[in-house]
Amino acid sequence: MLSTSYQPKLSIANAAEFLAISVQAVHKQLKAKGIVCSKIGNKAFITHREARALFNMKFSPKKVAVQIVKGGTGKTTSYECITSCANAYGARVLKIDLDPQGNATDSNGIDPEEVPVLIDLLKGDVSIEDCIYPLCEGMDMIPSRIENVILDNEIITKRFPLDKLFSNFLEPIENNYDFIFIDCPPTLGESVAAASLYSDVVLAPLNPDKYSAKGLKILKKEIETLSKNFKKPLDYRVFLNKFSSKTILSDKAIMSLISDPELEGKVLSSTVQFSQEVPNITDQNKNVFSTLKRSAVREDFDRLTRELLDISPNLGHEQARNTTAELVRSETV
């Protein structure tokens, strides 16, 4: 059942900032397109459907595996916020929970005992279509439950080719989405390797501590090994998560990332600062894009998502400027 409370939202002010035009100009475009906005109190907002019509963007499809061999880095939270932000801009998103712990499944309010998961698919008990759980408009999920802990054994036993595992299963439905995200467990194994080989980019959230740095080192080595063994160039990106300008550790982490020659071109310029708002709202099976509340961490994830997924207005800055100019002229006549 589609959830309206979870549905990611974009305020008209956010839409105006994105298009680099005035709020009045956004309302004018909405009216011209026959788009009726919902409201919370006196705040108008758009969701996935309205965003597709308003922005009219052509996304560059991308498959992303979110992983790092270190727990507690905010991997699942980042996965939730990035996918929700993309959906708010009108992207069609498929989320795959690969972690047997099922934290992403739980945070979306799904009872995993009631729906098929990947282990059921690998055993041939269900089809890929059976595994798709509709979360909200424009966003679906393949959930996870504890039985996924034997995914690696199933892959080995049945000799599934790692480099074709996900593409073979997802081929019938992957064109239905602009972006496919896989939330991986903080471990290495056959299923995580298969997710890396399927993805266009591996995304690793890095906390400002030495243990995260060790996890990143292991991840880099694994990606190099997979690239060599399967003769396929694998790409990865790193971003600093739970950053705090008040701590020396964060300063050292930034300097370490910037100065590491091996990470040249791999570090996203967007960082996400620490905020207690994130765990608080996660407990409500929501994320920072489920509400219209402006916050620093929402703005951080907005920048990160747009940088990672190359989201930018392409319906014409020129058209938008002309609309604003016409509005200004009409107001001064």
Domains and CATH numbers, the chain: 1-57+312-333 (1.10.10), 61-310 (3.40.50.300)
What was the pLDDT predicted at 70?
Answer: 75
* 232-259 CB burial, b ≥16 within 10 A, e <16: eebebbbbbbbbeeeeeebeebbeebee
Provide the pLDDT confidence category of residue 51 given band limits of 50, 70 and 90.
very high
pLDDT at 327: 43
Q: d(Cα 109, Cα 207) in Å, to the nearest integer?
A: 27
pLDDT tens across 63-122, in order? 999 998 877 778 899 999 999 999 999 999 999 999 999 999 998 889 989 899 999 999
The pLDDT assigned to 263 comes to 78
Q: Are 117 and 148 in contact (CB under 8 A)?
A: yes
Instruction: Indicate the average pLDDT of the chain.
Output: 87
Q: What is the pLDDT of residue 147?
A: 96
Mean pLDDT value of segment 242-253: 62
Q: pTM of the entire structure?
A: 0.89
The position carrying tokens 């740095």 is: 213
